[in-house]
Amino acid sequence: MASIILNYAMESSNVVTVRLNGTHKMREKTEECLIELEEGITLAHILKTACKSFGCKDNYKIAKLYNKNGIQLFKDDIILLAGGDILYLGSKGEDFYFSAILDDYQIIKELGQGGFGKVVLGKHKEDRKEVAIKFMDVSENLQSASMIQNIYKEAESLKKLQHKNIIQLYHAFVESKQLIMIMECAGGGELYKWVEEKGRVSEIDTRKIIFQVINAMHYCHIRGIVHRDLKLENVLFKQTGDLTIKVVDFGIAGVCEANKKDKVDAGSIAYMPPESLRPGSETSPAIDVWAIGVMHYAMLYGHLPFWGDTEEEFVDKITNQPLKFDADVPVTEECKEILKCMLQKNPEKRSDLITLIQTEYFMVEDEEIEAKVKIQEEKLAAIKKEEEQKEAASKLEDKFYDGMLFQKPVGAGASAEPKKGGSSVKNGSSIKDKSAVHKQKPIRKF
């Protein structure tokens, strides 16, 4: 028969802790029930013992038992229990209160805050594992039962994603008008901030990072999941000094934002493809391909491929402006072709991710890319040197004619005013110059 110990610790490695399922306030008033896992113990024994300890002994026939992840346990699961496990008793047969999971974590510090809510660093009280806990205000969505159902449905889909370049979602639930997500912690910082500090990223490093994003999203696409909000801010480094990345903020946040049609985000609209800017557009994998192309371009050139100071300008540039490449940045022709495939305005002609993965550009060794980049650098250096020589010769000629009694003949090496910034074709705003807008600052209504 199961034995029960109340109010004191039991010196045994074969003991499970049973807590009462419920809200935070309910749990604060309830003591824990410690039960020893004796040989042959059954689910019925655990339910009877726990119900008796919590003053509801007659409820054991309808009561339910859950593990710490909110999964209901049945009679065949009891053999899998081990000492130290934490269980939750649904004394009235109610569903699991996922908010109970928060009790297992100690809040260490705040990691970030914005219009979405806030993210804090949490540490599990037992195994000391660190997690990121995100709190989002979903009060506008709670009026719709179907919306809450969609949140949990989306969460269940995302929890099944197991990929080295995708942040693992452990739990997602709604409590006190907040969507709470407990997920894997990536401590290396945002890709956006890293790019902002560098100004431009080398083609070698850019290729390594973008290839990981492509792989992660291809994994999702073949499972019917589209991110919908890919951008530099939603890619994190696993740890400082390591180029291994983790994609975060999948569609579960999009479910919550679905009703907020009037709130357009500059940091998001910059990554939207032309088809998403038209009324009645549908979600498709092509949306993510375009966004990855924008990220790819921004890392290489230090600015976005299409820029606008207003929402209307953004829409016009993304929809109508041809893709251009800065002439003074050494990028291989193969890389430019990849960008053209991803930033194809017609979604039906835009490359899919499996096609991109299989291109030679992502298969060759770094040394081959480095050699081609070096050739581009040498060409740019030669062009720059030639321009400097022409400018020097023109200044010398201008000096010769200064003070002469006759004017310099028309067309005799007359020099035009030097172009500012060399031969660069700036078709987008610098990430650093426009950081205030690019960092998801909401666009005003014009």
Active-site residues: which are they?
Answer: 229
**Would the annotation count 184 as a binding residue?**
yes
User: How many CB atoms within 10 Å of residue 192?
Assistant: 22
The pair of three-digit structure tokens given for residue 163, joined into one six-digit string: 């990929």
Neighbouring residues of 428: CB distance < 8 A, sequence distance ≥ 6: 298, 301, 303, 304, 305, 306, 307
User: How many CB atoms within 10 Å of residue 107?
Assistant: 11
Looking at residue 205, the DSSP 8-state letter turns out to be H
How many angstroms separate the Cα of 397 from the Cα of each of 90, 112, 403, 408? 92, 59, 12, 9
**Would the annotation count 134 as a binding residue?**
yes
**Would the annotation count 233 as a binding residue?**
yes
**β-pair partners for 120:** 110, 133
The pair of three-digit structure tokens given for residue 200, joined into one six-digit string: 């431009």
Angle in degrees, 0-180, between the axes of helices 285-301 and 191-198, rounded to the nearest 10: 30
**Would the annotation count 256 as a binding residue?**
no
User: How many CB atoms within 10 Å of residue 117?
Assistant: 18
Q: Is 224 exposed, middle or buried (0-12, 13-18, 19+ CB in 10 A)?
A: exposed
Residues belonging to the binding site for ATP are: 134, 184-186, 233-234, 249
